[in-house]
Every structure is written in C-alpha cells, then in structure tokens.
Amino acid sequence: MRTCRRALTVLALTLPLVAWGAAPVVDNNSGSGSSNSYPPAGYGTSGAYAGGGVSAPPSAQGQLFMQLQQMQDEIARLRGMVEVQQNDIQRMKQEALERYQDLDSRIGAGGAAAAATNNSQPGGGEINASGAPVAPASQAPAAGTETPDPAKEKLYYEAAFDLIKAKDFDKASQAFTAFLRKYPNSSYAGNAQYWLGEVNLAKGDLQGAGQAFAKVSQLYPKHAKVPDSLYKLADVERRLGHTDKVKGILQQVVAQYPGTSAAQLAQRDLQRL
C-alpha cells in the first residue's frame, strides 16, 4: 500500500512538467514574418491606409490632369507659331504689292507706251477664221527697260505667282501686268502672259482674260503654254457667246498641237458641239 501511494505521488508531480514541455514556444520578436506575427504581413503598404514611409502611386485622376495640362501648354505654343506664320505671310504679300507698285512708278513713260500698244488689239481680242489672234505687228514684245537679270526676273515672277496661291487675284493681275511691261522678253514672260489670263478669268474679267490668252500665241508662238492658252481662249469665247469662233480655235489646237492635253480636251469639246 505504501509503495502504491508513493507511485501516485510521483506521477502527479511529473505530469504538469511533461505537458508544459510539449507546448510550442512562440518568439514574438523573431523576424520570421510568420502568420502569427502582428500586424499581418502587407498591412499598411498600399491603399488609402498606406504608411510607414511608403508613397502611394498617383491616381488616374491625377494622371489625367497632368496630361491635360501638357496638352494645353502644347496648344498654346502651336497657336503662337501659327500667328507668327500668318503675320509673315501678310507681310510678304504687302511687300510683293509694294515692290510691283514701285516697279510701275519706275517704268514711267516707256511702260505707259507699252501698255497702250498692248491694248490696241481690235475688237477686244478678235481672232480670224483659223483661230489665230488678229493683232498689228507693232504688238511684238518691246525691249525691257533694264539689262536682263534672270535672278531678278525669277524673283518678280515668283512673287506674282505667290499672289495667285493666296487667291489675291486683283494684286496678282497687277503684278503680272507690271512684270510683262518690264520683262517682255524674259524666259518667264510666256508663263506670265498665260497666268495673267487665268487671273483675269478668276476675277470674271472675260474680255481681259481673252486678250491675255490670245497674246500668248501671238507674242510667244513657240512657248509650251500656247496650246493651253488657245484652249482657254475657246472657253472664254464660249462664255462670251461667240460660238462661231469656238469651233475654229478648237480645231486649230487639235491640228497644230496633237498629243497635248489641250488637244485631247479640244477634241472632246468638238464632239460635244
């Protein structure tokens, strides 16, 4: 009996020690990052509650605002460039007009005499039965008032043509007229005479257009613009109601300038008459 009681006493003393030794020991200070740590991993690293020195990325609204601000700055810069270009174009147009006005003033009496000769064509640009323009021999190109200067001639011609591009037909007409008075023998004169006709046609001046187109073949018979000018002359005569003259001019274009675009158009128009 005494032996049994002693055994029970030893068992009662050892059981708590065994249970305590089996329980897991958790070290809260370890940096293992286990799921038992607090606060949970990832807490406070994103979202509205980010902290600990970690910055949040910019929001979509913020990015959109910055993009809009950049676009507004770029638009303002481009507007400034457009305004500068518009001012330059206007200045160039004004300079071109002033240049030709100065040219007219320096031509003087010689230029006035040439203008009177150019306007002496009878009947406002009459043509004969074959379609050739009727003009006295005195309408041959007069000598220019200055020594030929191809560079200067090119500058004047291009300035006049720029006025066509700007659709300033009144000033373009003045510019080409002044050019032809000063440089009637220029390599650009045939083109200038043709474009004077186009400008007058754009202005609605049919008489002036017809005279200008007729003078291309009369004054510059070897020029490449002759077929086009004759075809345009036929168009002007048609608009003026001179249908009896239209057919003769178109037949002349087809016969004398085969293979050109003007001849092809003239042939088409003849088939429609």
The whole-number pLDDT of residue 122 equals 37
Mean pLDDT of all residues in the chain? 73
**How do residues 163-176 score in pLDDT, each as one tens digit?**
999 999 999 999 99
Question: 69-83, 196-210, 248-262: which range is least confident on average?
Answer: 69-83
| Single pTM value for the model | 0.50
Residue 70 scores a pLDDT above 60: yes
The more confident residue out of 210 and 5 is: 210
By percentage, how much of the chain surpasses pLDDT 70? 58
The whole-number pLDDT of residue 90 equals 67
Distant-in-sequence contacts of 122-127, Cβ < 8 A, 24+ apart:
124/207, 124/210, 124/211, 125/207, 125/210, 125/211, 125/213, 125/214, 125/233, 127/214, 127/233, 127/237, 127/245, 127/248, 127/249
The whole-number pLDDT of residue 66 equals 86
The whole-number pLDDT of residue 5 equals 59
Segment 45-70 shows an average pLDDT of: 66
